[in-house]
Structure 1
Amino acid sequence: MALLLVLFLANILTTSKGSISQPDHVHHQIHLLRPQSGAGGNLVPGLSCLSWRLGVETNNIIGWKTVPQVCEGYVGHYMLGHQYLKDSRAVVNEALLYAQSLELDRDGIDVWIFDIDETTLSNLPYYAKHGFGVEPFNATLFNKWVMEGAAPALPESLRLYRKLLSLGIKAVFITGRSEDQRSVTAANLKKVGYHTWEKLVLKEPSYSGKPSVIYKSNERKKVEKNGYRIVGNIGDQWSDLLGTNTGNRTFKLPDPMYYIS
Protein backbone atom coordinates (compact mmCIF):
# COMPACT_ATOMS: atom_id res chain seq x y z
CA MET A 1 0.00 0.00 0.00
CA ALA A 2 2.81 2.42 0.84
CA LEU A 3 4.35 1.73 -2.57
CA LEU A 4 1.08 2.60 -4.29
CA LEU A 5 0.80 5.89 -2.43
CA VAL A 6 4.36 6.79 -3.45
CA LEU A 7 3.56 5.93 -7.06
CA PHE A 8 0.43 8.05 -6.98
CA LEU A 9 2.23 11.06 -5.55
CA ALA A 10 5.03 10.65 -8.08
CA ASN A 11 2.43 10.57 -10.82
CA ILE A 12 0.79 13.75 -9.52
CA LEU A 13 4.15 15.52 -9.49
CA THR A 14 4.83 14.39 -13.05
CA THR A 15 1.46 15.44 -14.40
CA SER A 16 1.69 18.83 -12.72
CA LYS A 17 4.64 19.51 -15.02
CA GLY A 18 2.55 18.85 -18.11
CA SER A 19 2.82 15.10 -18.67
CA ILE A 20 0.18 12.50 -17.92
CA SER A 21 2.26 9.52 -18.96
CA GLN A 22 3.73 7.01 -16.58
CA PRO A 23 5.80 3.84 -17.06
CA ASP A 24 3.92 0.67 -17.94
CA HIS A 25 5.09 -1.04 -14.75
CA VAL A 26 3.44 1.71 -12.68
CA HIS A 27 0.21 1.30 -14.61
CA HIS A 28 0.15 -2.44 -13.98
CA GLN A 29 0.96 -2.17 -10.29
CA ILE A 30 -2.20 -0.14 -9.75
CA HIS A 31 -4.12 -3.39 -10.10
CA LEU A 32 -2.60 -4.62 -6.85
CA LEU A 33 -4.65 -2.13 -4.83
CA ARG A 34 -7.94 -4.06 -4.76
CA PRO A 35 -9.41 -7.21 -6.33
CA GLN A 36 -10.03 -6.72 -10.04
CA SER A 37 -13.40 -8.47 -10.15
CA GLY A 38 -15.24 -5.21 -10.72
CA ALA A 39 -13.48 -4.46 -13.97
CA GLY A 40 -15.68 -6.86 -15.88
CA GLY A 41 -18.34 -7.88 -13.39
CA ASN A 42 -22.01 -7.06 -13.77
CA LEU A 43 -24.20 -5.19 -11.31
CA VAL A 44 -27.37 -6.35 -13.00
CA PRO A 45 -27.63 -8.22 -16.30
CA GLY A 46 -26.22 -6.01 -19.05
CA LEU A 47 -24.80 -3.32 -16.74
CA SER A 48 -21.01 -3.27 -16.28
CA CYS A 49 -19.01 -1.12 -13.90
CA LEU A 50 -17.97 1.03 -16.83
CA SER A 51 -21.64 1.62 -17.64
CA TRP A 52 -22.34 2.36 -13.99
CA ARG A 53 -19.61 5.00 -13.98
CA LEU A 54 -21.03 6.57 -17.13
CA GLY A 55 -24.43 6.75 -15.47
CA VAL A 56 -22.90 8.40 -12.43
CA GLU A 57 -20.96 10.99 -14.42
CA THR A 58 -23.98 11.92 -16.54
CA ASN A 59 -26.14 12.29 -13.41
CA ASN A 60 -28.49 9.53 -14.55
CA ILE A 61 -27.64 7.43 -11.48
CA ILE A 62 -28.32 9.66 -8.48
CA GLY A 63 -28.74 9.39 -4.75
CA TRP A 64 -26.32 6.47 -4.36
CA LYS A 65 -24.57 6.02 -1.02
CA THR A 66 -21.66 3.71 -1.83
CA VAL A 67 -19.81 2.31 -4.82
CA PRO A 68 -21.18 -1.17 -5.67
CA GLN A 69 -18.97 -3.78 -4.03
CA VAL A 70 -18.23 -5.45 -7.35
CA CYS A 71 -16.94 -2.15 -8.73
CA GLU A 72 -14.42 -1.20 -6.04
CA GLY A 73 -11.49 -2.67 -7.95
CA TYR A 74 -12.66 -0.98 -11.15
CA VAL A 75 -13.06 2.43 -9.47
CA GLY A 76 -9.69 2.14 -7.72
CA HIS A 77 -7.94 1.26 -10.95
CA TYR A 78 -9.68 4.10 -12.79
CA MET A 79 -8.83 6.72 -10.17
CA LEU A 80 -5.15 5.72 -9.87
CA GLY A 81 -4.62 4.97 -13.54
CA HIS A 82 -4.17 6.85 -16.78
CA GLN A 83 -7.83 7.35 -17.63
CA TYR A 84 -8.82 9.56 -14.69
CA LEU A 85 -6.01 11.95 -15.54
CA LYS A 86 -6.90 11.89 -19.24
CA ASP A 87 -10.57 12.54 -18.51
CA SER A 88 -9.67 15.43 -16.21
CA ARG A 89 -7.41 16.87 -18.88
CA ALA A 90 -10.21 16.67 -21.46
CA VAL A 91 -12.54 18.64 -19.17
CA VAL A 92 -9.93 21.28 -18.41
CA ASN A 93 -8.99 21.64 -22.07
CA GLU A 94 -12.62 22.54 -22.82
CA ALA A 95 -12.67 24.97 -19.91
CA LEU A 96 -9.51 26.63 -21.22
CA LEU A 97 -10.91 26.96 -24.73
CA TYR A 98 -13.97 28.61 -23.30
CA ALA A 99 -12.02 30.94 -21.00
CA GLN A 100 -9.70 32.02 -23.80
CA SER A 101 -12.70 32.82 -26.00
CA LEU A 102 -14.15 35.33 -23.53
CA GLU A 103 -13.97 39.03 -24.26
CA LEU A 104 -13.11 40.25 -20.80
CA ASP A 105 -13.40 43.85 -19.62
CA ARG A 106 -10.48 43.41 -17.22
CA ASP A 107 -12.46 45.34 -14.61
CA GLY A 108 -11.57 42.98 -11.79
CA ILE A 109 -14.99 41.44 -11.24
CA ASP A 110 -14.77 38.29 -13.36
CA VAL A 111 -14.49 35.19 -11.17
CA TRP A 112 -14.38 31.43 -11.61
CA ILE A 113 -15.91 29.18 -8.97
CA PHE A 114 -13.80 26.20 -7.86
CA ASP A 115 -14.87 23.37 -5.59
CA ILE A 116 -12.02 21.97 -3.48
CA ASP A 117 -12.19 18.23 -2.72
CA GLU A 118 -11.61 16.19 -5.89
CA THR A 119 -11.55 19.45 -7.85
CA THR A 120 -8.59 21.54 -6.75
CA LEU A 121 -7.25 19.21 -4.06
CA SER A 122 -7.11 15.43 -4.40
CA ASN A 123 -7.93 13.03 -1.58
CA LEU A 124 -6.72 9.98 -3.47
CA PRO A 125 -4.04 9.18 -0.87
CA TYR A 126 -6.86 8.90 1.69
CA TYR A 127 -9.06 6.71 -0.51
CA ALA A 128 -6.15 4.53 -1.58
CA LYS A 129 -5.65 3.75 2.10
CA HIS A 130 -9.28 3.40 3.19
CA GLY A 131 -10.96 2.02 0.06
CA PHE A 132 -12.85 3.42 -2.89
CA GLY A 133 -16.33 4.15 -1.64
CA VAL A 134 -17.78 0.71 -0.90
CA GLU A 135 -18.08 1.51 2.81
CA PRO A 136 -20.23 4.34 4.22
CA PHE A 137 -18.40 7.66 4.47
CA ASN A 138 -16.39 7.94 7.69
CA ALA A 139 -16.41 11.65 8.59
CA THR A 140 -14.04 11.17 11.54
CA LEU A 141 -11.32 9.52 9.48
CA PHE A 142 -11.75 11.91 6.58
CA ASN A 143 -11.61 15.01 8.79
CA LYS A 144 -8.45 13.67 10.39
CA TRP A 145 -6.95 13.42 6.89
CA VAL A 146 -8.07 16.96 6.03
CA MET A 147 -6.40 18.32 9.17
CA GLU A 148 -3.08 16.90 8.00
CA GLY A 149 -3.13 19.44 5.17
CA ALA A 150 -1.38 16.96 2.90
CA ALA A 151 -3.73 16.74 -0.07
CA PRO A 152 -1.94 17.17 -3.42
CA ALA A 153 -3.28 19.37 -6.19
CA LEU A 154 -5.20 17.94 -9.10
CA PRO A 155 -2.65 18.85 -11.79
CA GLU A 156 -5.18 19.74 -14.47
CA SER A 157 -7.18 21.99 -12.15
CA LEU A 158 -3.98 23.76 -11.12
CA ARG A 159 -3.21 24.30 -14.80
CA LEU A 160 -6.66 25.84 -15.29
CA TYR A 161 -6.28 28.01 -12.19
CA ARG A 162 -2.96 29.43 -13.37
CA LYS A 163 -4.26 30.20 -16.84
CA LEU A 164 -7.37 31.91 -15.49
CA LEU A 165 -5.26 34.18 -13.32
CA SER A 166 -3.16 35.12 -16.34
CA LEU A 167 -6.37 36.06 -18.18
CA GLY A 168 -7.49 38.31 -15.35
CA ILE A 169 -10.12 35.94 -13.94
CA LYS A 170 -10.04 35.61 -10.16
CA ALA A 171 -10.62 32.40 -8.22
CA VAL A 172 -13.40 31.85 -5.70
CA PHE A 173 -13.32 28.60 -3.73
CA ILE A 174 -16.61 27.26 -2.36
CA THR A 175 -16.16 24.04 -0.43
CA GLY A 176 -18.22 21.66 1.66
CA ARG A 177 -15.45 21.68 4.24
CA SER A 178 -16.48 23.23 7.55
CA GLU A 179 -15.46 26.66 8.79
CA ASP A 180 -13.21 25.19 11.49
CA GLN A 181 -11.05 23.76 8.71
CA ARG A 182 -10.33 27.17 7.18
CA SER A 183 -6.72 27.62 8.24
CA VAL A 184 -5.57 24.12 7.26
CA THR A 185 -7.45 24.32 3.97
CA ALA A 186 -5.94 27.69 3.09
CA ALA A 187 -2.45 26.45 3.97
CA ASN A 188 -2.93 23.28 1.93
CA LEU A 189 -4.12 25.25 -1.11
CA LYS A 190 -1.14 27.60 -0.95
CA LYS A 191 1.34 24.79 -0.38
CA VAL A 192 0.39 23.05 -3.63
CA GLY A 193 0.22 26.15 -5.82
CA TYR A 194 -3.12 27.93 -5.33
CA HIS A 195 -1.43 30.98 -3.94
CA THR A 196 -4.18 33.59 -4.22
CA TRP A 197 -7.97 33.85 -4.38
CA GLU A 198 -10.73 36.41 -4.07
CA LYS A 199 -12.84 34.39 -1.63
CA LEU A 200 -12.57 31.12 0.27
CA VAL A 201 -16.06 30.06 1.36
CA LEU A 202 -16.43 27.23 3.87
CA LYS A 203 -19.64 25.70 5.16
CA GLU A 204 -21.19 27.43 8.15
CA PRO A 205 -23.09 25.41 10.80
CA SER A 206 -26.34 27.05 9.61
CA TYR A 207 -26.19 24.81 6.53
CA SER A 208 -26.00 21.62 8.58
CA GLY A 209 -28.39 19.00 7.22
CA LYS A 210 -29.18 20.98 4.07
CA PRO A 211 -28.34 19.67 0.59
CA SER A 212 -25.06 20.88 -0.84
CA VAL A 213 -26.83 22.24 -3.91
CA ILE A 214 -28.70 24.71 -1.68
CA TYR A 215 -25.57 25.75 0.19
CA LYS A 216 -23.55 26.30 -2.97
CA SER A 217 -26.39 28.10 -4.76
CA ASN A 218 -26.80 30.50 -1.83
CA GLU A 219 -23.08 31.21 -1.64
CA ARG A 220 -22.79 31.81 -5.37
CA LYS A 221 -25.73 34.22 -5.09
CA LYS A 222 -23.81 36.13 -2.41
CA VAL A 223 -20.81 36.32 -4.71
CA GLU A 224 -22.92 37.89 -7.45
CA LYS A 225 -24.65 40.24 -5.00
CA ASN A 226 -21.19 41.47 -4.04
CA GLY A 227 -20.74 42.63 -7.62
CA TYR A 228 -18.82 39.78 -9.22
CA ARG A 229 -19.52 38.08 -12.56
CA ILE A 230 -19.29 34.30 -12.43
CA VAL A 231 -17.87 33.43 -15.84
CA GLY A 232 -17.15 29.78 -15.05
CA ASN A 233 -17.71 27.06 -12.48
CA ILE A 234 -15.95 23.71 -12.06
CA GLY A 235 -16.56 20.84 -9.66
CA ASP A 236 -16.58 17.07 -9.34
CA GLN A 237 -20.19 16.81 -8.06
CA TRP A 238 -23.35 17.75 -9.88
CA SER A 239 -24.40 19.60 -6.72
CA ASP A 240 -21.46 21.94 -7.41
CA LEU A 241 -22.96 22.86 -10.76
CA LEU A 242 -26.74 22.68 -10.43
CA GLY A 243 -29.14 25.04 -8.66
CA THR A 244 -29.02 28.80 -9.11
CA ASN A 245 -26.34 31.38 -9.91
CA THR A 246 -24.22 28.68 -11.53
CA GLY A 247 -22.27 31.06 -13.77
CA ASN A 248 -22.04 31.43 -17.53
CA ARG A 249 -20.75 27.89 -18.03
CA THR A 250 -20.09 24.84 -15.87
CA PHE A 251 -17.58 22.00 -16.15
CA LYS A 252 -17.91 18.59 -14.47
CA LEU A 253 -14.77 16.73 -13.43
CA PRO A 254 -14.94 12.94 -13.06
CA ASP A 255 -15.53 11.39 -9.63
CA PRO A 256 -17.13 7.95 -9.26
CA MET A 257 -16.04 7.59 -5.61
CA TYR A 258 -18.93 9.34 -3.87
CA TYR A 259 -22.15 11.27 -4.42
CA ILE A 260 -23.15 14.51 -2.69
CA SER A 261 -26.69 15.80 -3.20
Structure 2
Amino acid sequence: MGLSPFVLNFFRAILVASSSQGNSDLAVANQIHPLRPQSGFGGYYVAGVSCLSWRLGVETNNIIGWKTVPEECEGYVGNYLLGGQYRKDSKVVTYEAYEYAKSLRVRKKDLWIFDIDETSLSNLPYYAKHGFGVEPYNPTAFNKWVATGKAPALPESLQLYNNLLNLGIKVAFITGRSEEQRDITQTNLLNAGYHTWEKLILKGPSFKNKTAVVYKSAQRKKLENNGYNIVGNIGDQWSDLLGDNLGDRTFKLPDPVYYIS
Protein backbone atom coordinates (compact mmCIF):
# COMPACT_ATOMS: atom_id res chain seq x y z
CA MET A 1 0.00 0.00 0.00
CA GLY A 2 1.11 3.58 -0.55
CA LEU A 3 2.22 6.07 2.05
CA SER A 4 -0.30 8.52 3.46
CA PRO A 5 -0.01 12.25 2.66
CA PHE A 6 1.11 12.83 6.25
CA VAL A 7 4.01 10.41 5.88
CA LEU A 8 5.00 11.77 2.48
CA ASN A 9 5.04 15.32 3.81
CA PHE A 10 7.20 14.24 6.71
CA PHE A 11 9.80 12.63 4.47
CA ARG A 12 9.85 15.62 2.12
CA ALA A 13 10.58 17.79 5.14
CA ILE A 14 13.30 15.39 6.30
CA LEU A 15 15.05 15.63 2.93
CA VAL A 16 14.87 19.41 2.91
CA ALA A 17 16.18 19.57 6.45
CA SER A 18 19.03 17.21 5.60
CA SER A 19 20.33 19.56 2.93
CA SER A 20 19.95 22.77 4.88
CA GLN A 21 20.74 23.32 8.55
CA GLY A 22 18.64 26.45 8.52
CA ASN A 23 15.55 24.39 7.74
CA SER A 24 16.23 21.64 10.30
CA ASP A 25 12.92 22.20 12.10
CA LEU A 26 10.69 21.89 9.03
CA ALA A 27 9.81 18.26 9.71
CA VAL A 28 8.48 19.18 13.13
CA ALA A 29 5.58 21.03 11.51
CA ASN A 30 4.52 17.90 9.63
CA GLN A 31 3.44 15.84 12.61
CA ILE A 32 0.37 13.63 12.67
CA HIS A 33 -0.73 14.79 16.11
CA PRO A 34 0.93 15.28 19.51
CA LEU A 35 1.59 12.29 21.75
CA ARG A 36 -1.07 11.39 24.27
CA PRO A 37 -0.68 12.87 27.76
CA GLN A 38 0.49 10.60 30.58
CA SER A 39 -2.71 10.94 32.55
CA GLY A 40 -6.11 12.53 32.26
CA PHE A 41 -7.84 15.12 34.41
CA GLY A 42 -8.60 13.64 37.82
CA GLY A 43 -6.31 10.68 37.16
CA TYR A 44 -8.64 8.67 34.92
CA TYR A 45 -7.12 6.16 32.50
CA VAL A 46 -5.81 7.42 29.17
CA ALA A 47 -5.05 4.95 26.38
CA GLY A 48 -1.35 4.88 25.55
CA VAL A 49 0.08 5.21 29.05
CA SER A 50 1.42 1.66 28.92
CA CYS A 51 3.18 2.50 25.64
CA LEU A 52 4.90 5.51 27.17
CA SER A 53 6.19 3.27 29.96
CA TRP A 54 7.20 0.58 27.47
CA ARG A 55 9.28 3.05 25.47
CA LEU A 56 10.99 4.27 28.65
CA GLY A 57 11.93 0.68 29.43
CA VAL A 58 13.24 0.20 25.90
CA GLU A 59 15.36 3.35 25.88
CA THR A 60 16.86 2.61 29.30
CA ASN A 61 17.66 -0.98 28.23
CA ASN A 62 15.54 -2.37 31.05
CA ILE A 63 13.36 -4.15 28.48
CA ILE A 64 15.76 -6.29 26.47
CA GLY A 65 15.59 -9.00 23.86
CA TRP A 66 12.19 -7.92 22.52
CA LYS A 67 11.31 -8.95 18.98
CA THR A 68 8.49 -6.60 17.94
CA VAL A 69 6.70 -3.48 19.11
CA PRO A 70 3.56 -4.40 21.08
CA GLU A 71 0.62 -4.36 18.70
CA GLU A 72 -1.31 -1.91 20.85
CA CYS A 73 1.63 0.53 20.62
CA GLU A 74 1.77 0.82 16.82
CA GLY A 75 -0.13 4.12 16.82
CA TYR A 76 1.94 5.53 19.66
CA VAL A 77 5.28 4.64 18.03
CA GLY A 78 4.09 5.94 14.67
CA ASN A 79 3.06 9.25 16.14
CA TYR A 80 6.28 9.51 18.10
CA LEU A 81 8.43 8.92 15.02
CA LEU A 82 6.46 11.05 12.58
CA GLY A 83 5.66 13.82 15.01
CA GLY A 84 8.03 16.34 16.49
CA GLN A 85 9.13 14.48 19.61
CA TYR A 86 11.50 12.04 17.90
CA ARG A 87 13.34 14.91 16.24
CA LYS A 88 13.45 16.86 19.52
CA ASP A 89 14.85 13.86 21.39
CA SER A 90 17.47 13.31 18.70
CA LYS A 91 18.42 16.97 18.84
CA VAL A 92 19.03 16.79 22.60
CA VAL A 93 21.42 13.87 22.09
CA THR A 94 23.38 15.43 19.23
CA TYR A 95 23.51 18.82 21.00
CA GLU A 96 25.17 17.21 24.01
CA ALA A 97 27.53 15.30 21.72
CA TYR A 98 28.61 18.51 20.01
CA GLU A 99 29.04 20.37 23.29
CA TYR A 100 31.30 17.57 24.49
CA ALA A 101 33.25 17.54 21.21
CA LYS A 102 33.86 21.30 21.43
CA SER A 103 35.51 20.79 24.82
CA LEU A 104 38.20 18.50 23.40
CA ARG A 105 41.73 19.37 22.42
CA VAL A 106 41.58 17.63 19.07
CA ARG A 107 44.48 15.39 18.12
CA LYS A 108 45.46 14.20 14.67
CA LYS A 109 43.84 10.75 14.89
CA ASP A 110 40.81 11.52 17.03
CA LEU A 111 37.87 9.54 15.69
CA TRP A 112 34.10 9.49 16.18
CA ILE A 113 32.12 6.31 15.51
CA PHE A 114 28.71 6.54 13.83
CA ASP A 115 26.28 3.66 13.45
CA ILE A 116 24.31 3.81 10.18
CA ASP A 117 20.71 2.55 10.38
CA GLU A 118 18.53 4.81 12.55
CA THR A 119 21.62 6.87 13.36
CA SER A 120 23.20 8.27 10.19
CA LEU A 121 20.42 7.10 7.87
CA SER A 122 16.71 6.75 8.64
CA ASN A 123 14.64 3.78 7.52
CA LEU A 124 11.34 5.43 8.44
CA PRO A 125 10.02 5.17 4.86
CA TYR A 126 10.31 1.39 5.24
CA TYR A 127 8.93 1.10 8.76
CA ALA A 128 6.02 3.42 7.98
CA LYS A 129 4.83 0.72 5.57
CA HIS A 130 5.57 -2.15 7.96
CA GLY A 131 3.75 -1.28 11.15
CA PHE A 132 6.47 0.78 12.86
CA GLY A 133 8.07 -2.37 14.22
CA VAL A 134 4.89 -4.32 14.96
CA GLU A 135 5.53 -6.66 12.04
CA PRO A 136 8.24 -9.28 12.63
CA TYR A 137 11.55 -8.44 10.99
CA ASN A 138 11.63 -9.60 7.38
CA PRO A 139 15.25 -9.62 6.14
CA THR A 140 14.23 -10.09 2.52
CA ALA A 141 11.91 -7.08 2.52
CA PHE A 142 14.33 -4.92 4.51
CA ASN A 143 17.31 -5.75 2.32
CA LYS A 144 15.20 -4.93 -0.73
CA TRP A 145 14.60 -1.49 0.79
CA VAL A 146 18.32 -1.07 1.56
CA ALA A 147 19.10 -1.92 -2.06
CA THR A 148 17.14 1.13 -3.23
CA GLY A 149 19.71 3.39 -1.56
CA LYS A 150 16.99 5.90 -0.72
CA ALA A 151 17.26 6.15 3.05
CA PRO A 152 17.38 9.84 4.04
CA ALA A 153 19.80 11.21 6.60
CA LEU A 154 18.63 11.75 10.15
CA PRO A 155 19.10 15.56 10.06
CA GLU A 156 20.40 15.87 13.60
CA SER A 157 23.08 13.24 12.98
CA LEU A 158 24.11 14.85 9.70
CA GLN A 159 24.53 18.18 11.43
CA LEU A 160 26.62 16.56 14.17
CA TYR A 161 28.74 14.85 11.50
CA ASN A 162 29.46 18.17 9.77
CA ASN A 163 30.19 19.89 13.07
CA LEU A 164 32.66 17.18 14.06
CA LEU A 165 34.50 17.43 10.74
CA ASN A 166 34.72 21.20 11.18
CA LEU A 167 36.36 20.62 14.57
CA GLY A 168 38.94 18.37 12.92
CA ILE A 169 37.54 15.10 14.32
CA LYS A 170 37.54 12.21 11.87
CA VAL A 171 34.53 9.94 11.35
CA ALA A 172 34.15 6.20 10.86
CA PHE A 173 30.97 4.22 10.23
CA ILE A 174 30.44 0.78 11.75
CA THR A 175 27.25 -0.93 10.61
CA GLY A 176 25.61 -4.32 10.95
CA ARG A 177 24.87 -4.26 7.23
CA SER A 178 26.61 -7.06 5.34
CA GLU A 179 29.74 -6.59 3.27
CA GLU A 180 27.65 -7.39 0.17
CA GLN A 181 25.81 -4.10 0.76
CA ARG A 182 28.94 -1.95 0.70
CA ASP A 183 28.43 -0.27 -2.69
CA ILE A 184 24.81 0.72 -2.13
CA THR A 185 25.53 1.81 1.44
CA GLN A 186 28.38 4.01 0.29
CA THR A 187 26.21 5.52 -2.45
CA ASN A 188 23.34 6.12 -0.02
CA LEU A 189 25.63 7.83 2.49
CA LEU A 190 27.08 10.11 -0.18
CA ASN A 191 23.65 11.00 -1.57
CA ALA A 192 22.39 11.74 1.94
CA GLY A 193 25.21 14.22 2.55
CA TYR A 194 27.95 12.19 4.26
CA HIS A 195 30.76 13.11 1.91
CA THR A 196 33.87 11.78 3.64
CA TRP A 197 34.99 9.24 6.23
CA GLU A 198 38.06 7.39 7.46
CA LYS A 199 36.51 3.93 7.47
CA LEU A 200 33.24 2.34 6.36
CA ILE A 201 33.07 -0.98 8.19
CA LEU A 202 30.44 -3.56 7.27
CA LYS A 203 29.85 -7.01 8.73
CA GLY A 204 31.91 -9.68 7.02
CA PRO A 205 31.24 -13.44 6.96
CA SER A 206 33.60 -14.12 9.89
CA PHE A 207 31.09 -12.38 12.17
CA LYS A 208 27.99 -14.06 10.72
CA ASN A 209 26.95 -15.79 13.95
CA LYS A 210 28.36 -13.19 16.33
CA THR A 211 26.33 -10.65 18.25
CA ALA A 212 26.47 -6.98 17.38
CA VAL A 213 28.28 -6.30 20.66
CA VAL A 214 31.06 -8.78 19.80
CA TYR A 215 31.32 -7.59 16.19
CA LYS A 216 31.39 -3.87 16.93
CA SER A 217 33.78 -4.27 19.87
CA ALA A 218 36.22 -6.12 17.62
CA GLN A 219 36.04 -3.42 14.94
CA ARG A 220 36.61 -0.63 17.44
CA LYS A 221 39.62 -2.50 18.83
CA LYS A 222 41.08 -2.73 15.32
CA LEU A 223 40.69 1.01 14.88
CA GLU A 224 42.47 1.70 18.15
CA ASN A 225 45.21 -0.77 17.24
CA ASN A 226 45.69 1.29 14.08
CA GLY A 227 46.37 4.38 16.16
CA TYR A 228 42.95 6.04 16.26
CA ASN A 229 41.66 7.64 19.46
CA ILE A 230 37.91 6.99 19.72
CA VAL A 231 36.67 10.15 21.38
CA GLY A 232 32.96 9.61 20.72
CA ASN A 233 30.51 6.90 19.71
CA ILE A 234 26.86 7.41 18.71
CA GLY A 235 24.19 4.84 17.87
CA ASP A 236 20.51 4.01 18.27
CA GLN A 237 21.06 0.51 19.74
CA TRP A 238 22.52 -0.36 23.10
CA SER A 239 24.62 -2.94 21.26
CA ASP A 240 26.36 0.01 19.55
CA LEU A 241 27.40 1.32 22.95
CA LEU A 242 28.19 -1.79 25.00
CA GLY A 243 31.21 -4.07 24.99
CA ASP A 244 34.88 -3.12 24.68
CA ASN A 245 36.80 -0.14 23.26
CA LEU A 246 33.71 2.06 23.42
CA GLY A 247 35.54 5.37 23.21
CA ASP A 248 35.68 8.22 25.68
CA ARG A 249 31.94 8.98 25.57
CA THR A 250 28.86 7.32 24.12
CA PHE A 251 25.56 8.86 22.99
CA LYS A 252 22.30 6.92 22.58
CA LEU A 253 19.75 8.05 19.99
CA PRO A 254 16.11 6.98 20.44
CA ASP A 255 14.78 3.90 18.66
CA PRO A 256 11.54 2.21 19.76
CA VAL A 257 11.22 0.18 16.52
CA TYR A 258 13.64 -2.73 16.92
CA TYR A 259 16.21 -4.26 19.24
CA ILE A 260 19.59 -5.73 18.24
CA SER A 261 21.67 -7.64 20.77
AA aligned to 1:66 is: T
- Equivalent in the alignment of 2:248: 248
Q: How far apart, in 2, do the equivalents of 1:187 and 1:14 lie?
A: 19
Check if 1:199 corresponds to 2:204: no
Distance 1:216 1:137, change over 3 A: same
Q: How far apart, in 1, do the equivalents of 2:33 and 2:126 lie?
A: 18
AA aligned to 2:105 is: E
Deviations 1:44-66 (A, max 9, x none): xxx61011101100111111111
Q: How far apart, in 1, do the equivalents of 2:34 and 2:74 lie?
A: 13
- Equivalent in the alignment of 2:139: 139
Q: Which runs of 4+ in 1 moved over 6 A?
A: none
Deviations 1:212-247 (A, max 9, x none): 000000000001001100000000000000000000
Check if 1:28 corresponds to 2:37: no
- Equivalent in the alignment of 1:96: 98
Distance 1:241 1:234, change over 3 A: same
Distance 1:212 1:22, change over 3 A: closer
Distance 1:167 1:186, change over 3 A: same
* Mapping 1:160-199, distance limit 5 Å: 160-199=160-199
Q: How far apart, in 2, do the equivalents of 1:134 and 1:194 lie?
A: 30
AA aligned to 1:223 is: L
Report the TM-score when normalising by structure 1: 0.90
Q: How far apart, in 1, do the equivalents of 2:148 and 2:181 lie?
A: 11
1:30–1:80 Cα contact (<8 Å) kept: no
Q: How far apart, in 1, do the equivalents of 2:170 and 2:64 lie?
A: 32
- Deviation of 1:4 after TM superposition, in Å, equals 3.2
Which stretch shifts more, 188-197 or 129-138? 129-138
- Equivalent in the alignment of 1:35: none
- Deviation of 1:11 after TM superposition, in Å, equals 2.1
Check if 1:57 corresponds to 2:59: yes
Q: How far apart, in 1, do the equivalents of 2:183 and 2:28 lie?
A: 37
2:172–2:199 Cα contact (<8 Å) kept: yes
SS of 2:201 mapped into structure 1: strand
Identity of aligned residues (%): 65
- Deviation of 1:8 after TM superposition, in Å, equals 1.8
2:7–2:82 Cα contact (<8 Å) kept: no
- Deviation of 1:28 after TM superposition, in Å, equals 3.4
- Equivalent in the alignment of 2:113: 113
- Deviation of 1:13 after TM superposition, in Å, equals 2.9
2:6–2:32 Cα contact (<8 Å) kept: no
Among candidates 9, 15, 22, match of residue 17 of structure 2: 15
Gaps spanning 5+ residues in structure 2: where?
Answer: 36-45
Q: How far apart, in 1, do the equivalents of 2:181 and 2:34 lie?
A: 31
AA aligned to 2:31 is: H
1:217–1:246 Cα contact (<8 Å) kept: yes
Q: How far apart, in 1, do the equivalents of 2:113 and 2:57 lie?
A: 25
- Deviation of 1:21 after TM superposition, in Å, equals 4.5
- Equivalent in the alignment of 2:227: 227
Distance 1:134 1:198, change over 3 A: same
Check if 1:77 corresponds to 2:82: no
* Count of residues in correspondence between the two structures: 247
- Deviation of 1:9 after TM superposition, in Å, equals 1.5
Q: How far apart, in 1, do the equivalents of 2:32 and 2:179 lie?
A: 40
Q: How far apart, in 2, do the equivalents of 1:22 and 1:120 lie?
A: 17
Report the TM-score when normalising by structure 2: 0.90
1:132–1:257 Cα contact (<8 Å) kept: yes
- Deviation of 1:29 after TM superposition, in Å, equals 6.6
Gaps spanning 5+ residues in structure 1: where?
Answer: 32-39
Deviations 1:89-117 (A, max 9, x none): 00000000000000113x2x111000000
- Deviation of 1:23 after TM superposition, in Å, equals 7.4
